[in-house]
Amino acid sequence: MLQVRASDLLGSDHGGHPWFQYCKALPDSAPLPPDPRSLVTPTFDKAVAFNVGWHQCMNQQPATCGELRSQAAAGARLLNGNGANEAGWQFSSGQSWSLWSMPASQYNQLWLRWGLLWRPSNFDQLVAERYGTPLSAQRNPYPLPGENPNLTNGGSGQLPMALTQTHNADGSWSGNIGITCALCHGGQVGNAADGPGLGPLLGNNGLSDVDLLLTDWGGANNAFYLLSLNRVRGSGDITNFQMFGLLTLFDTQALPSFLNPALWLSGTSGSEDPPNWWNLGHRPAKFYDAGMSSDSTRIELSWYMPDAATPQYAQGFDWIRNHEYMANTWLLSVQSPAYPLPVDTALAEQGAVLFHTLDLWAADRHNTVLRPTGGNGSCASCHGAYAPRYVNDPAFLATPALAGMAGNVTPIDIINTDPARLNANTQAVRGQFQNSFFGYEGQAGCVDEYNAVGYLAQPLYGIWASAPYFHNGSVPTVWSVLKSSDRPLFWRRLSKPAQVGVVMGFDTDLARAYDLVKLGWKYDNLSCSAISLIPYLQCNPGDPYATPLIESLLSILFANGSLAWNILGGLQAPSFTNMDIENRKIYNTRMYSQSNTGHEFTDVLTDAERTAIIEYLKTL
């Protein structure tokens, strides 16, 4: 199913699920082959190693190409928003109103919260910039002041992709606005004119300031003021299992494990870079620690669950059961955008050979990091094989159907990236979640049943569009992933050109803000003095490589108290002055859960080898 170019070293399906490529030219009646993820089993005698396997949890998959297409279309209407009648939104399924929504009249006055004296003419664009959620590529209407949405086909305004106008039961427009999953999973790479699939896109973000939007939003979202989700723009505590547990607070089946004191003495997982949706079809397990089977889809709908954390929780469970299949099918269809700029084909081919065959632990490399179990010691050993030459080589994969599949958890003493998330997901946390509705009531394999040991290597589709890197978003470019000595301690991604008195979002213009050589968004490398007016609070001027004393003391609390990081973050949550908001763009790798250590085994590469591998990664 891999798209093959003239060279057998270059080619990519850009993620998604292989079924969608398979069905492109087939009629609706065509039966589907087995899910390639179901073929993943622990394998250590091939060049590509797998140490996790596939578990079917939802117990429902499409049987034909027609069913695949129809379910994906229904899931798109549910998850994409854009004012669709079937669109879901925050903790309210598809209702017309709830305590989590905002009337358009209030939305139209958000500029008052920003400290402006009048409603700016580019209000829609400034909403997108302030909160880091791009304007939708499709029409996504809301009524401007004085407009009746039902006389203007929803209104003349254009919402960002994280928002959607709801509908009344009779299908008419409600004039209320809800928040969608695109708050964390909707981003932008370049513009539509740059190439197919570019511009605003679902599946990846790294742009949004979640707390800022929720704090400005008000209503029931004020609860998030004391339950901070993010400290740094573009990252957040996105897959916090303790927080998910709060959604089932009244479920008597999960209550005994929920009351376990060990659950609340577990640490807080902290900052996380939202995972790419476009890799779901090539992963037997998901989340950065392989915490759940990729078929455990209920968790993806938790943001839309009605009656969450209330005695009426069972109605929310029913809604998720009725919609998880269509949502999952659409998620599997999401693909990464292709790299739109020229690629040095000869150099990329050299990179493909290095990526798939270079043993980083060969004797002449003198690698000081422990060698992982299984595989050939190459990048492909953990991240999967993509080039047709190797995909079709039985020494690499048991079957070509496993092209692009990644399912290898690298132990923490080898990967060495920030351990906060790993340490926070203790046996008590996994036990509580395993027995919950989101864990499929204890169904085997749906939640990791064993002690977590490390982090799951990701498939690398669209890696060029996925900056920043590592599970916590601590490293800004692929180059610095491959060369640890080049990682900045304190950095800030470039913002769009400033407007007086207005907060602007990260710059997504490829010509202006993208680093073609190091592969990632350009950034400012900051000094310790630039990030804190109070010495030793956020950095140590005497030794910027040392964690400051106050942060060290707080880290003890964060590491031993569930949600401590969130709650203390909420106490200092955005007030927000413009300076506060700008400072939330700074990534400080000395803070809890934000270390930029790890992946040092690629330090044995030469700069020439890094350059070739990066050129190859552009093609995925």
User: Given a cut of 80, is residue 205 above it in pLDDT?
Assistant: no
pLDDT number for residue 451? 62
Residue 166 has what pLDDT? 98
The answer for 433, left when phi > 0, alpha when psi is -120 to 50, beta otherwise, is alpha
Confidence of residue 63 (pLDDT cuts 50, 70, 90): very high
Distance CA 315, CA 325 (A): 17
pLDDT at 573 over 70: no
pLDDT-derived band at 152, boundaries 50, 70, 90: very high
Q: What is the CA angle 435-439-445, rounded to 5?
A: 100
**472-508 residue pLDDT tens:** 999 999 999 999 999 999 999 999 998 888 999 999 9
What pLDDT, on the 0 to 100 scale, is given for residue 264? Answer: 87
For residues 42-49, average pLDDT:
97
Location of structure tokens 């910027």: 544
For residue 336, give the DSSP letter.
P
Does 452 score more than 80 pLDDT?
A: no
The phi and psi torsions of 154 (rounded to 5 degrees) equal 100, -20
pLDDT tens for residues 577-603? 898 899 999 999 999 999 999 999 999
Structure-token pair, residue 187: 């981003």
Q: What is the pLDDT of residue 331?
A: 98
Q: What is the pLDDT of residue 397?
A: 98
Q: Indicate if the pLDDT at residue 5 is higher than 60.
A: no
Q: Is it the case that residue 311 has pLDDT exceeding 50?
A: yes
- Sheet with strand 173-179: strands edge to edge: 102-103, 173-179, 163-167
Residue 108 vs residue 528, higher pLDDT: 108
Give the span between the Cα atoms of 269 and 540, in whole angstroms: 24
| pLDDT cut 70: percent of the chain above it | 97
Q: What is the pLDDT of residue 542?
A: 84
Mean pLDDT across 438-466? 90
* Confidence category of residue 189, pLDDT binned at 50, 70, 90: very high
pLDDT in tens, 224-254: 777 888 999 999 898 888 888 889 889 988 7
Share of the chain above pLDDT 90, in %: 80
pLDDT at 613 over 90: yes
Choice between 136 and 242, residue whose per-residue pLDDT is larger: 136
Question: What's the pLDDT at 551?
Answer: 86
pLDDT at 4: 41
Between the CA of residue 494 and those of 89, 133, 193, 207, 522, what are the distances in Å? 31, 16, 21, 11, 6
- Residue 120 DSSP one-character state: -
- Can you give the pLDDT at residue 244? 87
Helix (H, G, I), strand (E, B) or coil at 525: strand
> What DSSP string describes 3-63?
---SSTT-----SS-HHHHHTTTS-TTPBPPPPGGGG---B-SSSS-B-------S-----
Taking CA atoms, 439 is separated from 49, 74, 164, 310, 327, in Å, by 27, 24, 29, 19, 17
Predicted local confidence at residue 1, as pLDDT: 41
Q: Mean per-residue pLDDT for 288-310?
A: 95
Say if residue 459's pLDDT is above 90: yes
